[in-house]
Amino acid sequence: MPSVFHNLKYALRGLRTVLSTERSFRILSIVAVLVIIFALIIGIEDDLLVGLLLIIILILSLEIFNSAVERLVDMLAPKTHHFAKEVKDLLAAAVLLASIFAIVIGFIVFL
């Protein structure tokens, strides 16, 4: 049974992989850092900060999940197949919905 340290090593390796290979994840990460810095500068309330952090983690986690499943689909269906395309589109839609929700939350928090 792998130790906690091995699991952490694997998770950090996955994070390094997504940061080095996925442009959209890097962009989302930069935006997330800027939003957090701005929130800290203006001194938003703790409960609002927690809400922002939750939605940021949700979006970044969905993007990682999206990237992982896209790679799996590409491996299983190297030729373009309509089901493979649908799977990718559905995952992209999940990220889009979470991003729209984040924008709405951002307006509520910052305005």
60 in Cβ contact with 25 (< 8 Å):
yes
80 in Cβ contact with 88 (< 8 Å):
no
Please check if 45 is assigned to a binding site.
no
Assess whether 86 carries a catalytic annotation.
no
Q: Which of 42, 40, 34 is CA-nearest to residue 102?
A: 34
Per-residue model confidence as pLDDT tens digits over 59-102: 999 999 999 999 999 998 878 888 889 999 999 999 999 999 99
Per-residue model confidence as pLDDT tens digits over 1-48: 678 989 999 999 999 999 999 999 999 999 999 999 999 999 999 999
The rounded distance, in Å, linking the Cα atoms of 56 and 3 is 28
Domains and CATH numbers, the chain: 4-110 (1.10.287.3610)
Helix (H) or strand (E) segment spanning residue 55: helix 46-76
Please check if 86 is assigned to a binding site.
no
Check 63, 66, 91, 109 and give the catalytic one: 63
The rounded distance, in Å, linking the Cα atoms of 35 and 69 is 27
